[in-house]
Amino acid sequence: MPCVRSLFLSDIHLGTRACQADRLLDFLREYSAERLFLIGDIVDFWSMSRGIHWSREQNVVVQKLLRRARHGEQIIFIPGNHDEVLREYCGTVFGDIRVEQEWIHTTADGRRFLLVHGDEFDQVTRHHRWVAILGDVSYNLLVRINVWLSWLRRRLGRSGYWSLAGYAKRRIKHALQFIFDFEESVLHAARLRGVDGVVCGHIHWARISEVGGLTYVNCGDWVDSCTGIVEHFDGRLEIVEWTAHCVAPVLASRPLEEAA
């Protein structure tokens, strides 16, 4: 099992059918770390209010996280908008997992990163909640359709994972503009805070980029693309895409349109 300095995960969406807990378990079995950051939307209380789906694999994910915390791995949980009810408990510790509104993480090479989920920079989520909920339902529908498409592709002998939701994001102009606006807002907040970069989630779009002297890092998600961020012991950050059968590291220089 390779050991890394830090793991960053977001948008797992436990409690939903879309959550790919089996792949996340494989990922967690593959990587051990000194510290693990859970950056929001770990449990999806929005979707659970419409109907709960809690599989054995999702239960094992929770057990594994608690076990890692008990065995000395530092775990920081930063709630997002889908598990915002847990923000009432920021500053407390549950089962050796610390709950915080945000966090400043210093990498091995001395860079300081602001860790936030990112929904506070999403104007739709902040001011038009019903639109956000409608978008959430639509996105979950795309992900569920993608499960059937993936099955059909395998039956037809097509290899590799193809994301319908990712395709929609790349093709819909307004979705792309939203992503660019989101990144700009997050980086502006990081610049005001005097840090070297930001690590966030929320938009389900994994990315590492350098913009204006700052580093923007998005963890992606575990309902569609199955991506996480690892920090190596030299401070280097890397996107890891986890598929059903293999792990494929993706370098930080990957362009946005390939990063879903």
Instruction: Report which secondary-structure segment, H or E, holds 143.
Output: helix 129-155
Cα 123 from Cα 38, distance rounded (Å)? 23
pLDDT band at 2 (very low <50, low <70, confident <90, very high): confident
- Exposed / middle / buried, residue 159 (Cβ in 10 Å: 0-12, 13-18, 19+): exposed
Q: What is the pLDDT of residue 159?
A: 56
114 closest CA partner among 217, 33, 256, 11: 217
Percentage of the chain beyond pLDDT 90 is 62
Give the 3-state secondary structure of 147-191.
HHHHHHHHHCCCCCCCCHHHHHHHHCHHHHHHHHHHHHHHHHHHH
Q: Using one digit for the tens of pLDDT, what is the confidence trace for 87-129? A: 999 999 998 999 999 999 999 999 999 999 999 887 544 444 4
3-state secondary structure of 197: strand
Let me know: does 242 contact 226? Beta carbons within 8 Å: yes
List, for residues 26-75, the tens digit of each pLDDT value: 999 999 999 999 999 999 998 888 888 999 999 999 999 999 999 999 99
Kindly report the pTM of this predicted structure.
0.78
Distance of CA 48 to the CA centre of its chain: 19
Domains of the chain and any CATH numbers = 3-258 (3.60.21.10)
Residue 243's pLDDT band (cuts 50, 70, 90): confident
User: Bigger pLDDT: 32 or 224?
Assistant: 32
Among 19-28, 146-155, 190-199, name the one with the lowest average pLDDT: 146-155
Nearest Cα to Cα of residue 201 among 25, 99, 109, 77? 77
